[in-house]
Amino acid sequence: MSALMGQMMTTPLMIGSVLRHAARHAGEVEVVSKRVEGDVHRTNWAGIELRARKLAQAFARLGCEPGDRVGTLAWNGYRHLEIYYGSSGSQLVCHTINPRLFPEQIAWIANDAADRVLCFDLNFLPLVEKLAPEMKSVQHFVLMTDRVHMPAASSIAGLLCYEEIVDAEDGAYSWPDFDENTASSICYTSGTTGHPKGAVYSHRSTLLHAYAAAMPDAMNCSTRDVILPVVPMFHVNAWGIPYTAAMVGAKLVMPGPHLDGKSLYELFENEKVTFSAGVPTVWLGLLTYMKANRLKFSSFKRTVIGGSACPPAMMKTLQEDFHVEVIHAWGMTEMSPLGTLSKLMSKHDDLPAEAKQKLLETQGRVIYGVDMAIIDDDGRSLPWDGVAAGNLVVRGNWVIASYFGQKDAPSPLVSVDGEPGWFPTGDVAAIHPDGYMQITDRSKDVIKSGGEWISSIELENIAMAHPAVHEAAVIACKHPKWDERPLLVVVPKPGMSPTREDLLGFFEGRIAKWQIPDDVAIVAELPHTATGKLQKLKLREQFKQHRLPGA
Ligand code: ADP
């Protein structure tokens, strides 16, 4: 007998439908942006939707075809939001690029994704003018501003004005339906080996992720919320907030590039923000400013902190001094990014305060849509006893199966107890019997500073080019403010004695300033395996007590 099929509509999960929903059912709910130009701009979901429709028309007029990539170099703001929807909603692919990367990396990523259009904020004009000749695939450069702010002259031939291309359209466009597995967006993550790799999200994965993010044990978002994503829209789609906010019809407040304590505090208060999200370091400036000026929040209730381990002291300060609930979260670009969030279960209500706090300090429990396991090096699953630590693997509706352009490459997925299809996160974790996951280490060879990746391999390659360096290794060193900072360990060439200043100076101009190692250690030799592979874990152990300058 054949199975009885469901008889429901098979409406595809489309990003355009989320914005259409927001415009129809929360049309007057505001979207407020602190602009790059300095002022505050106000619109609402109906306004965003109309302009996103016009933008979709403008992209088509520029000759964009389904599947074409639209790159962005932009801060959090309404125009960026319109691009998210205007591109994905019209079957183009929104490719957010992290402007904090080194210029050569930005150009490399734009080329790898073969971006056809590049939209960028006003303050990135000098950068894009420098990079434009390298960006071979880009046919249209769009400056995200109005005519008044357009430069009198630019080295970019045919530079387009965002407001002009939007204004030229009539908005007579309706969001099309197509296969929900179509690519909607791409985010690059610094790989552990060599070049960054792209995670390609689909309409379906993005919508399911947005649904899950809104659930009570996740971000708990509703139409009553005023959401300010401090996490940038170029950092894994601001953790899905641009979609979740539209889905629930929440007010959205965008800080632009104004992320200093004073600007953020004023925006939180003026717009009555209730919920926010960001990496741990973004809160430092805000909390320091508030403490110095004896300020309190009047509306801010809860925040998700993730991307790097949230220091327990920061959690305590937010909870006890500022009455803000901290939801510690873990995820990664390859997971859209949400995986786990830390909230208490009702069975924990009677636990002593300290035990509750310990659970909240873990990276949390998975949300439905993602599953996880910890495994040993032979792929056998380990018990959830809060003690055994192993390689953390995940699978689910918004977890990648392969990287951009590598569909035919060997699959990155691994097996758990013989069952294939799990993505290895490169994190090492233990899992508490109640399902609370705790990151204990990282097996991937990268450094995470203030929520941003630094590729150790890239730094090592630069160091190795130094004439006095025989061998170089870069490892993560604990840092109280940035969580981790790079330490360069060098074996000099025989008879040479390079200085710290000389070695660090060598990185200037070769990598972004914030990626330059904090310190250098000169050693006689580095630990190797029998096959000659550098033993990074051993090296990290060796320098566990190393104090970085200023740390
Ligand atoms: P995101 O920063 O949005 O989580 P990335 O892909 O840039 O996404 O980084 C993912 C990696 O960051 C994880 O694999 C993990 O190593 C680290 N990470 C993310 N969240 C946490 C957390 N809460 N605690 C510890 N490490 C984290």
Domains in the chain, ordered, with CATH? 15-329 (3.40.50.12780), 363-442 (2.30.38.10), 446-542 (3.30.300.30)
Ligand 1 proximity of 337 Cβ (cutoff 6 Å): yes
Ligand 1 proximity of 447 Cβ (cutoff 6 Å): no
Give the burial string for 265-302 (b: 16+ CB within 10 Å, else e).
bebbeebebbbbbbbbbbbebbbebbeeeebebeebeb
Helix H or strand E encompassing 359: helix 353-361
- The verdict on whether 453 is a catalytic residue reads yes
Ligand 1 proximity of 363 Cβ (cutoff 6 Å): yes
Answer yes or no: are the C-beta atoms of 102 and 512 closer than 8 Å: yes
Task: Return d(Cα 359, Cα 343) in angstroms, integer.
Answer: 8
- The verdict on whether 448 is a catalytic residue reads yes
Which SS3 state, helix, strand or coil, does residue 96 take? strand
Ligand 1 proximity of 392 Cβ (cutoff 6 Å): no
Ligand 1 proximity of 448 Cβ (cutoff 6 Å): yes
Non-local (6+) Cβ contacts of 271 within 8 A are 32, 226, 228, 251, 253
Pick the catalytic residue: 189, 244, 303, 333? 189
| C-beta neighbour count of 356 within 10 angstroms | 14
Pick the catalytic residue: 384, 448, 482, 536? 448
Place of tokens 């790097």: 308
The residue type found at 241 is I
CA of 331 to the centre of ligand 1 (A): 5
Answer yes or no: are the C-beta atoms of 185 and 234 closer than 8 Å: no
Could you list the pLDDT tens digit for every one of the 551 residues in the chain? Answer: 799 999 999 999 999 999 999 999 999 999 999 999 889 999 999 999 999 999 999 999 999 999 999 999 999 999 999 999 999 999 999 999 999 988 998 999 999 999 999 999 999 999 999 999 999 999 999 999 999 999 999 999 999 999 999 999 999 999 999 999 999 999 999 755 568 899 999 999 999 999 999 999 999 999 999 999 999 999 999 999 999 999 999 999 999 999 999 999 999 999 999 999 999 888 988 999 999 999 999 999 999 999 988 989 899 999 999 999 999 999 999 999 999 999 999 999 999 999 999 999 999 999 999 999 999 989 999 999 999 999 999 999 999 999 999 988 999 999 999 999 999 999 999 999 999 999 988 888 788 888 888 888 889 889 988 999 988 999 999 898 888 999 999 999 989 999 999 999 999 999 899 999 999 999 999 988 766 677 888 898 899 889 998 87
| C-beta neighbour count of 257 within 10 angstroms | 20
Ligand 1 proximity of 332 Cβ (cutoff 6 Å): yes
Non-local (6+) Cβ contacts of 385 within 8 A are 430, 433
Tokens standing for 64? 């964009």
CA of 429 to the centre of ligand 1 (A): 12
Tokens standing for 250? 């929440």
Cα-to-chain-centroid distance, residue 39: 26
Q: Which of 339, 322, 321 is nearest to 330 (CA)?
A: 339
The residue type found at 485 is R
| Region for 90 from its dihedrals, namely left if φ exceeds 0, alpha if ψ lies in -120 to 50, beta otherwise | alpha
Place of tokens 């949400």: 338
Q: Whose CA is nearest to atom 9 of ligand 1?
A: 332
Tokens standing for 384? 């959830």
Task: Return d(Cα 280, Cα 94) in angstroms, integer.
Answer: 26
Ligand 1 proximity of 342 Cβ (cutoff 6 Å): no
**Distances in Å between the alpha carbon of 386 and those of 313, 326, 375, 526?**
22, 22, 14, 33
Pick the catalytic residue: 334, 361, 452, 460? 334
Give the burial string for 327-352 (b: 16+ CB within 10 Å, else e).
bbbbbbbbbbbbbbbbbeeeeeeeee
Answer yes or no: are the C-beta atoms of 461 and 504 closer than 8 Å: no
Ligand 1 atom nearest to 426, measured from its CA: 14
CA of 373 to the centre of ligand 1 (A): 17
Answer yes or no: are the C-beta atoms of 430 and 440 closer than 8 Å: yes
| C-beta neighbour count of 408 within 10 angstroms | 7
Bridge pairing between strands 365-366 and 275-278:
unpaired
Q: Over 451-474, what HEC string results?
A: CEEEEHHHHHHHHHCCCCEEEEEE
Q: Whose CA is nearest to atom 5 of ligand 1?
A: 332
- Fill in the DSSP letter of residue 511: B
Ligand 1 proximity of 330 Cβ (cutoff 6 Å): yes
Which SS3 state, helix, strand or coil, does residue 69 take? strand
Q: Integer distance in angstroms from the first to the last C-alpha of the chain? A: 69
- The verdict on whether 189 is a catalytic residue reads yes
Give me the DSSP letters along 107-173.
HHHHHHHTEEEEEE-GGGHHHHHHHGGG-TT--EEEESS-GGGS-S--SSTTPEEHHHHHHT-----
Ligand 1 proximity of 240 Cβ (cutoff 6 Å): no
Ligand 1 atom nearest to 235, measured from its CA: 3
- Ligand 1 pocket test: pick from 310, 365, 427 the residue with the most ligand atoms within 8 Å of its Cβ: 427
